Structure formats: structure tokens, C-alpha cells
Amino acid sequence: MGMTLTQMRVRVRKMLRLGNTSDADDNGVFKSDITDAINDELKEWWLDVSTGLPDRLLKTQAMTYTANSESVVVPAAARGRMIRAVLWLPTGNTAPDGYVRLRQYNADDIDGTIAGRCGWALRTLAHELLLRPVPTGAESLLLVYNPEMTELSADSDEPQWVANEYRIGVLQGACARLMEDRKDTDEAERRRAKAEEVLLRFRAHIEFISPPVPYITGRNEQHNRSW
């Protein structure tokens, strides 16, 4: 078990030498300010990893594509997110090894270019998924997508995706943000440099972790016939 949000706020107060190191509003720095700084730094780390190593923070969402439907609405969890793969589970196959990765097409072109093979497209603004050819039976799918980071809010919350030994870097970055607000630029730059050092180590750590969905990496061939 790692540092909770309460423990992280207390640690930030100690790092800033605020005197009162309890988790209470004091010395002009409020709990909400520290929480915002921590979440803003976590978002920066999330963006860094999501951009540089996008396969490391994936989630999956099972769904059913109903029979004879031109399109279906994407499940709420994946709406507005980058869908990186759509996996199809043919009848009689079992997850996860039985999934087949489908080919992606442009929504405007899918009806004219998909002859002879199965594929998918996304109408982003409408949150609609299209399968072609239109399946005549219900099909089991698994969406693989980059989720949005969940902010810390409850006192017991933890950034589970950041191993505890790297969370000090997040706190250094949070301190830098708070020092910038107080116009202490020299101290902010020093804290920022320390945060960047830890972020580099964290990025190297994440790079050697296998993607959580190994079957999106191309092991399964694109399905090249009708359902």
C-alpha cells in the first residue's frame, strides 16, 4: 500500500516547510490547493506516458454489436477516448486467445472499401461504432482504448498507476507548481528539475512493463472474410 492523498498532502507541506504539517488548511495553503497541484502533476505524467508509451495505460470494454445494425453506440466508458483496437470473438472461441483484431477504416470510406473483409470505423462525434459488412447475428467485441485519468478526490485515494517509489516525483512537481504560484521561481525550478529526474526513471520503468492487452500487438491476423 502506498501513499494516500492525505499522506501526499502532508508530505507536500513538509517539503514546503510550512510549519504545520498536519493535513489542515494553514499558512495560506489550503488542502484544495495541494490536491489541485497533485492532480495537475499527475495529469502531466499521464499525458507523458499516454503519448510516449500509449499501450501501457490501456483499458478494455466488452460490448455486443446487435444483429442487423448499421451502427451501435459505444459504451459510455470509451466515449470520447482514443479507441486503439476493436477485437472480435468469433462464435465458439474463448477469450482472450480467441480474439481477432479487426481492420480499422475511415467512417466515410468504410462502405466503399471493405468488400471481402470485416472491419470497423468510428463516428467520433456521435459515439457510434460501425461494423462492415453489417453482421446478421449479434457479435461479441472488445474495445481497447486509452482511458482518461481519474483524479484523486477522497482522502484514501491513491494514484494506483504510479508505483509508490515514484510518487515522490509527483510531489516534487506539485511543490514546483505551488512555488510558482507564490512567485518563488528559483525554488520552483529546483523542484521541477527533481520531478523531471524521477519522471525519467518512471518512464523507463513503464517501458519494460508488458502492455496489459498483449493480443492487440498483431499476434492475431486481420479477419479477411465475412462473419
Q: Render pLDDT for 73-129 as a digit per residue (tens, 0 to 9).
A: 999 989 988 898 999 988 888 877 788 888 888 888 888 766 667 889 999 888 999
Q: What is the pLDDT of residue 96?
A: 75
Which residues of the chain fall below pLDDT 70?
1, 19-20, 27, 113-116, 212-226
Q: What is the pLDDT of residue 221?
A: 56
Q: Cell numbers at residue 156, please?
A: 484514501
d(CA 23, CA 203): 30
Question: What separation, in Å, do the N-terminal and C-terminal C-alpha atoms of the chain show?
Answer: 47
The pTM of this model reads 0.79
